[in-house]
Homo-oligomer: A and B are copies of this chain.
Amino acid sequence: MTHVLDGPDTPFLALDEGKLDANIARLRDRLARLDTALRPHVKTAKSIEVARRLFDGGAGPITVSTLAEAEAFADAGFTDILYAVGISPAKLGRVGKLRERGVDLVVLLDSVDQADAVAGAGIPALIEIDCDGHRGGVQPNSPELVKIAQKLGARTRGVLAHAGESYFAYTPEALAAAAENERRCAVEAAETLRAAGHAVAVVSIGSTPTAHFVEDLTGVTEVRAGNFVFFDLVMAGIGVCQVDDLALTVVTTVIGHQPDKGWIITDGGWMATSRDRGTASQPVDQGYGLVADINGRVHEDLLMTGASQEHGILSVRPGSTATLPDIPIGTRLRVLPNHACATAAQHDRYHVISPDSQRVWHRVRGW
């Protein structure tokens, strides 16, 4: 193992293959038990290799957050793709080109204006349903929903809901309630449309928290989730995973000490971790991340508490009685991220920690 972690100059992303595979197996097994399809969101890993592991090396249905992802995954043989960000009419040309290549690329929208443009271009769409007020979407029983479907006509593929509220649920009961609300809301929207005479083939719900706590998927045709392949401290904070499940870490090197300030300084700043402070609003604030040794053992109460572009500041968790460990210059450490999507986005590639090989997996970038 250590040859991978000793290899590249720091900072770099290390991806633990064993944890990745366990995280994938956990959700796949869960949804298999619930007899519902998984349409993973590739926006977290943005990696063809990670996506193929979700389908035993094949290419199943995926969700993307950019057309650059759609194009890269289409090039890799993925043909069933949902672009789950509200469509901008100017992007329909690229959508059309992918569809001409035989990719069943479906777009998302929540207005009559978008539906007008999409229907004119002959592109199928899901209608976004607002289940908890966190982003876009129309209400599941609203006249607007029916108007959009009327404008889309035969291009109405179905409905989609995303439980943004689930990222702020901190108990299994609250997570299960968020999941049931997401399901109920999407199914209600589908029923509204069916009552108005529209076919609704797809009822899509999902988020990493709700996908792991939903128990009843009646009326749902697919579940989306993305973050679960890596997990992160935000997910651990709401109880969806354990800290030990985190597959992604940033490897950094100690480059200085400021003992009077209680600091260890590393070469991993926000350029390597991102500026994401997602745990700041959780009960336990993890700063810019928990710090582990090179083998992944978490240092008790040592956090990355400060970040400039290429400097990380490590210090003891505020309020802790732990003493700052003595870690010499040149020592490699691993930082467990708050938000895997944001941290991974700062990098172009993953260095895969695996017992039997050295591999580098590249990320799709841009839009």
User: Which A residues contact B (CB, under 8 angstroms)?
Assistant: 9-12, 43, 65-67, 85-91, 94, 110-111, 113-114, 130, 133, 135-136, 164, 253, 255-258, 261, 265, 267, 270-272, 274-277, 308-311, 313, 328-330, 341-342, 345-348, 365-367
Contact A89 B330 (CB under 8 A): yes
Measured between alpha carbons, how far is A365 from B90 in the docked complex, in Å?
Answer: 29
| A–B pairs, 7, beta carbons within 8 Å | A9-B367, A43-B310, A111-B257, A130-B258, A135-B265, A136-B311, A271-B345
- Whether A367 pairs with B265 at a CB distance below 8 angstroms is no
Q: Name which residue of chain B comes closest to A139, CB basis.
A: B260
Q: Are A367's CB and B10's CB within 8 A? A: yes
Q: Contact partner of A270 among B67, B89, B114, B342, CB < 8 A?
A: B342
Which chain B residue has the least Cβ–Cβ distance from A162? B308
Q: A267–B133 contact, CB under 8 A? A: no
> CB within 8 A of A85: which of B85, B255, B275, B341?
B255
Contact of A114 among B86, B329, B365 (CB under 8 A): B329
Query: Are B85 and A310 in contact, CB atoms less than 8 angstroms apart?
Result: yes
Min Cβ gap A203→B in Å is 21
Nearest residue (CB) in B for A6 is B90
A-B pairs, 7 with minimum CB distance: A86-B255, A275-B275, A88-B253, A136-B256, A275-B276, A85-B310, A65-B310
Q: Which of A265, A277, A329 counts the most B-chain CB atoms under 10 A from its CB?
A: A329
In the complex, the chain B residue whose C-beta lies closest to that of A86 is B255
Q: Which of A43, A113, A308 has the most CB of B within 10 A?
A: A308
Min CB–CB distance A9 → chain B (angstroms): 6
* A85: chain B residues within 8 A (beta carbon): 255, 267, 310-311
**Which of A10, A274, A341: most chain B Cβ within 10 A?**
A274
**Cβ contacts under 8 Å, A9 to chain B:** 67, 88, 90-91, 94, 367
CA distance A91 to B253 in the complex (A): 10
Give the residues in chain B near A253, CB-CB below 8 Å. 88, 90
